[in-house]
Structure 1
């Protein structure tokens, strides 16, 4: 296998999708949008190709790493509001840990789109919650579930880079939410190690996450000075 690639991992075929990947001119907004669209498609195709057993192994590893991280950084989860996500499109499935932390006294929230092009809303979830279909047909808590402000938020990743920037699905909802929520939650990106990119070509609206976690453990973390 050649080692002169300009991308970070085999599934990340950015340089072959778009030659502008390594060209500074790609920072023009229209070029970045095109590059992100193509890279997102490549990463999702690679993710969809994983066998169920591979996804399960990755999800189990991520749950173990996340459990350790929460314990070491925050101690007891009792009473702490943590926003998870409901997995779609071959995302890592953390729902078993979500239920376990609920049993241990954490207050679990799930994000949902209640109005297009506005920040996400976080609503309370328990194993007894009667879910309904939300945006993209994602199961979400009903409108009568309490609205919460999380202290810790998990953000699913399509791709990520070492500066903590996230490549999502293109709707801008997490960036919009992080810009609006006060106080800002500690935000942990959850993704596959193979989805590491050299850069996502961050734009002014992109907000870096505090930490990115993959099946290999903590992949990157921003310091207070950053």
Structure 2
């Protein structure tokens, strides 16, 4: 990787994502009767060859349900919230009260997951934009179900593509649902993000 990442960079990225996730959890809790606890225990930076291996290991090669959103501005890329399809169905069931496997669940799944994805992704990207004082524009979120390669458009990525992986845990009632937030940057855009973080770190008291 061209950009040498320090522990301070990773800590800053984790903090930005945690701020966004906290805002998103607050919005989700306002929508629901059940309290959602949304945690990001791990943030890592991966290459093209690493991301597919990591997600296949984490999700056991399952088909994924994903909400995808493109962003442009000071830096550009793609933000994705991905779930194994069984976790997605469980989450929708908890949010809507529909039984897993019922025809009604399928009919509300896309709308429900799109709304959840939009809230989580916009919370994170809004945190990055606001804390770093950078302007970002967002496309309309898209929902899809497919394999990891197609969900993340890995066939169009290169070894210079940078993947920021934030493993997410949605705890609702007694259930824990796993999902991942994947931010995809080309090398130049990721470099811009790191330079902006460096500028912020310079002005922080030691």
| TM-score normalised by the chain length of structure 2 | 0.29
Relative contact order higher in (CA < 8 Å, ≥ 6 apart)? 2
Which structure's residues are more often strand, by fraction?
Answer: 2
Instruction: Determine which structure has the larger helix proportion and give its number.
Output: 2
TM-score (norm 1): 0.27
